[in-house]
Every structure is written in C-alpha cells, then in structure tokens.
Structure 1
Amino acid sequence: MSYQDKSPATDLARQGLLAGIAAYTMWGMFPIYFKLTQSVPPAEFVAYRILFSVPFGLLIILFRKQVDDVLVALKNPKTVLLLLFAAVALAFNWGVYIFAIQDGQIFQASLGYYINPLMYVLVGVVFFSEKLSKLQGLAALLALVGVAILTLYGGVFPIIALCLAVTFTLYGVIRKYVEIGAMPGLFIETILLMIPALFFLLYLRQAGPLQVETAAWGLKTLIFLAGPVTVLPLLAFAFSARRLKLATLGFLQYIGPTLQFMCGLYFGEVFTLAHAICFAFIWVGVAVFSYDAWDNNRRIKKVGLQ
C-alpha cells in the first residue's frame, strides 16, 4: 500500500463511503421494517416515529455535543419557522411512504426516490433560474416519458411516487437554506412535531387502545425502534456528506430505491410490462444524469489542477 493510500484524507473518504453506503442501505431496507409493522396505521406510526425520535435524537445531540447548536437555532424565529415547514413536509413524506409499503406500492415508492434527484434539477430551473444542461434535460425527459407510459398504458397514475418526490424535494430545498447541521435540524423538527403527534395519539386513544398498548412484545419492540430507525440513517448520511464529494453521493443515492425495488420483487408485487418500460426509461435517465454529474465534477477537477 502506498503512502497516499494511508493519508488522512483517504481514510476520511473511505469512512465517508462506508457511512454513505450504510445510510442508503438502511433506507433501502425500510420496506422490510414497515412490512413487519404494517398492522399499525400509517398516521399512527408517523406519530410514534416522531415521538421515539426525540429521546434517541437527544442522546445523539448530547453525545456529539451539539446542544449549543440546537439552542442557537431555537433563538432564531426564521430558522424555527423554516424547520417547521421542513418538518411538515417530512412528516407527510413519512406518512405517504409508510402507506405505500403497507398498501403494496413499493414500486411506486422506489420510483419516487429514483426521480427525486431529477426533481431537484427541475426546481432549480423553475424557481432559482438555474441552467439545465443538455444531458440533464434529456434525463428529465426520459423520466417524464417513463411516468407517462406507466400512466397511459399501465393505467396507474404514480401519485404516490410524485408525492414522495415532491415532499422530499421540498424538504431538501428548505434544509439547504437553513444554516444548521443535519442532526440538530432533525431534532428540532421532531420537537416541533412532538406536541401535534401527542395530541393525535390522545385523539386516537379516545376510540380505544393504541397499537403500542395492545401489540405483542415483538411488534412493540419494532415500534419503539422507530426512533433509531429514523435517526441512524440520517446520522450516517450526515457523516458521509462531510467526507465525500457531491458526485460520489449522487451515485450512492440510488442504492436506496434500487434496494426498495428489489424488496418489491421479493414481496411479490405485480410487475407489469408498463412497469418494466417505465423503470427502463427511469434507469436510462438516471444513468444519463449520473454521467452528467460525473463529467461536470471531472471538468471542475481538471480546471482546478491547471
């Protein structure tokens, strides 16, 4: 092994790569977790996910010594308001995703996160006057054709996929302009949603016992694990994002929807010809999009060396 392979920068990059793979792998395996907990209604599970993320998130905040970051952000009304909007978008995203898994719509969930990066590009063009490269335009067109084929010939309008892509894009755009770390930001978001989640569970409790009260211990354990299941992938992603180039993260982000797609096959969802054609267009679009990101990164690096 050469001296360069042992450099601190190389070690950090390897750690970031492993953390990124871990984060997207955990996100990709979410269908299994939500299939195991599918007896819990989506809205109720979102409430559990919020509540149990708070104490686990607090432990992470204390361990990483980020209490000051949280306190500083809470003193800024603009930051709190933006995080509230982000939290609502994220909670809606969680609810739609859990519903999709429980309703046997894993392919749509996978599709939503495949087109999510392309949605970011379109938002940049429409709302922030960013220029669209020819390859990015081609990738977006291919994704649009794929969705149209699924709608027209498959008889399925991918409302779930679009909701997931739109809400997560909205969440990402808001968080991009909030000057706060991933973990402190998520902790504040869950705090802001905690009171509504508690009131919602109390409302459900009036009609009868909650799932967490009547479930067998196996299901109860899975429900209590909603906190770590929510926080750990984001923590790994935050660790990775600080150590990897955006182009590398761009490639890694497709691990999640690919694993979700494989979970859909495993759980026996119906995969029609329209699905096959749609995903073929999406995958080609993803390949074009990824190549464009890699090529831009290569050119920037080349110019920097000159």
Structure 2
Amino acid sequence: MAFGFGAYLMWGAFPLFFTVIAAVNPLEVVPWRVITTLIICALIVTITRRWGAVAGILRSPKKLGALALASLLLYANWQLFVIGVISGHVLETALGYFINPLFTILFGVIFWREKLSRLQWIAVSIAGLGVLVSTVAYGQFPWIAIGLAVSFGLYGVVHQRIDAVDGVTGLTVETIVSVPVGLTQLAILAALPAGLGAFSHGTLVTVFVLLSGLVTAVPLILFGEAAQRLPLTYIGFLQFMTPVIGFLFGYFVMHEEMSTARWIGFIGVWIALVFLVVDMVATLRRGPNARVTAEPKTGPIALGG
C-alpha cells in the first residue's frame, strides 16, 4: 500500500511538472523522457548490481515479450498524457485517471476472475453511466480520457502476469524496448521543418526536460512493486489519488472550463468513489479472512532483490 500510495501521489503532481515545459512539442517530450529514464534506471541497476537480472529477462522470450508489450502500452499512455496536459486538457486527463480504476477493476474480473462485491458493481455501473451521459451531453467523445484509462489499465494487467521481476529491473527492460521507438520519433521530428527544440526554451525548461527521467522512474518503480503485491481491485482504489490531484490543479490553477456535461461525468465517478471507499472500509473491518480472495496472484518481490 505504501508503494502504491507513493506512486499515485507523485503521478498526481505530473500536470504541474509538464505545464512548466508546455512550450516543448509534446511529441518531443516523451522520447527525451524515455531516454533520460533509461539513464536513471541504468544508474540504479549499476548501483544495486542488477544487470544480471536484466540480462536474464532479455534472454527469456516470455518475460521479454510481456515487458515489451507493457512498454508499448506505457509509451502510448505517456504520449496521450503529455499531449493532454500541454494542450490544456488537464481536466480530461484527470477524467481518464478517474475512469482508469474502473477499467482496472473490470480487467481484474475479466483476466483474473476476481469477484466484485455488490457495492463495487454499483460503483462501476454509476461511473459508467455518468461518463456515458456526460459524453452524449458534451457532444464529444473523450478520446484522451478513454485512451489513458485503457492503456494504463492494460499495463497493470500485463504486470500482474510477470512473475519474479522487481520494479527496477522491469522498468529498465521496458525503457530499453522504448528507446528505439523514441529515437525513431525524434528522427522523424528532426526531419520536419520545425525540427527539434526541446533545449531552446531557456535553462528552466531544459532542466525540467532532463529531470523528466527521474520523476518518471521513481513512481513507476513504486508502481511495479505495488502491482506485484496488490490485487487489481486494490490498485484500482489507489488510482483515485492521481485524478483528484489533477482535477484540483486543472480546475483551480489552470481554470479550465467545466460545463454541465463535464460535471455530470465527474460527479458520477465521484459517487462511484464513495461506494468503493465504503466497500474498502467494510472489507478491512471484516479482517484478513474476508480478504482471502483479494490476495495478489504473484508472490511478493522485495525491492532489494
């Protein structure tokens, strides 16, 4: 729970971070983010002497394939998020991460046959109805929100299927796979008339672009550890932290417009959150025996290896 709490708290602060580098092309931000993340991971792996574990995964077609799939899902999620924040759609990214736990819970049922309580089913239904009504009333499908929810929900599913891989090693392999994609994207941008310009917007923006790897690696490592220990239903509960912070930033700091249609969607999801909180508290009060079906599908992996 501590790993998950730390990961989602840091992710909640991402809109503020990427608003600072809003002058940079969002299609250029993600490749540099991947490259700097690999540098951070390489340093951590070297210090903790885990290159043997990394090499072992690279020699395992099954684990490498799973992490490669996770890498592509994560890259897509990053790109959608950065586009949303830099283009002034912070509230839609927040909506995406509000919906994300619902997809995570449903994926738990579909892929792991996790049993949901009556309150959890009510929560999923209310939130789904709220988002549907909001979409119809707003007249525009929330592509960024749905894309974020699906990509990261599936990312969590893939991580649940990866046995005996700690967060640091897993993220290192994922970034190794992502770097060729990022370099290709940079090459295409460099060939366009506008070219590359991530480091031409002043010292502060340059520093933040270079720090993107560090602020990316830390919460992802924490998430990797949490995903190994917690069932998808618990991960779904923790995920509400990120959109709450994002919503507060978009509404009170960025002053983005909140139409009636948008309020319907958000309120529907918030009501669902209340049901999930009530269900979580009730489950915890019943004690360990009531949570047997909620045990993780993989054994615990220590961060120290």
Same fold (TM over 0.5): yes
Q: Residue 250 of structure 1: CA displacement? A: 5.7
Give the alignment partner of residue 204 of structure 1, picking from 189, 192, 196.
189
Q: Quick one: percent identity of the two aligned structures? A: 33
Comparing 190-199 and 123-132, the one that deviates more: 123-132
Alignment partners' CA distance in 2, 1:217 and 1:131: 52
User: Which residue does the alignment assign to 2:168?
Assistant: 183
Comparing 72-81 and 131-140, the one that deviates more: 131-140
Alignment partners' CA distance in 2, 1:213 and 1:263: 26
Query: Is 2:268 the counterpart of 1:281?
Result: yes
AA matched with 2:177? L
Alignment partners' CA distance in 2, 1:44 and 1:103: 14
Q: How does 1:1-306 map to 2 (within 5 A)?
A: 17=2, 20-179=4-163, 180-207=165-192, 209-237=195-223, 251-265=237-251, 266-302=253-289
* Aligned CA distance change for structure 1 residues 68 and 259 (closer, same or farther; 3 Å): same
Looking at CA atoms only, which structure, 1 or 2, has the larger radius of gyration? 1
With normalisation by structure 2, the TM-score equals 0.85
Q: Residue 230 of structure 1: CA displacement? A: 0.5
* Aligned CA distance change for structure 1 residues 145 and 269 (closer, same or farther; 3 Å): same
* Aligned CA distance change for structure 1 residues 240 and 121 (closer, same or farther; 3 Å): closer
Unaligned segments of structure 1, at least 5 residues = 1-15
Comparing 264-273 and 149-158, the one that deviates more: 149-158
Alignment partners' CA distance in 2, 1:67 and 1:148: 47
AA matched with 1:264? G
Q: Residue 65 of structure 1: CA displacement? A: 3.0
Is the contact made by 1:84 and 1:189 (CA closer than 8 Å) also made in structure 2? yes
Unaligned segments of structure 2, at least 5 residues = 292-305
* Aligned CA distance change for structure 1 residues 60 and 161 (closer, same or farther; 3 Å): same
AA matched with 2:208? L
Alignment partners' CA distance in 2, 1:193 and 1:184: 14
Is the contact made by 1:50 and 1:227 (CA closer than 8 Å) also made in structure 2? yes
Is the contact made by 2:108 and 2:232 (CA closer than 8 Å) also made in structure 1? no
Q: Residue 239 of structure 1: CA displacement? A: 6.2
Is the contact made by 1:247 and 1:294 (CA closer than 8 Å) also made in structure 2? no
With normalisation by structure 1, the TM-score equals 0.85
State the superposition RMSD in angstroms: 2.6
SS for the counterpart of 2:138 is coil
User: Which residue does the alignment assign to 2:299?
Assistant: none
Instruction: Give the number of equivalent residue pairs.
Output: 289
AA matched with 1:36? V
User: Which residue does the alignment assign to 1:8?
Assistant: none
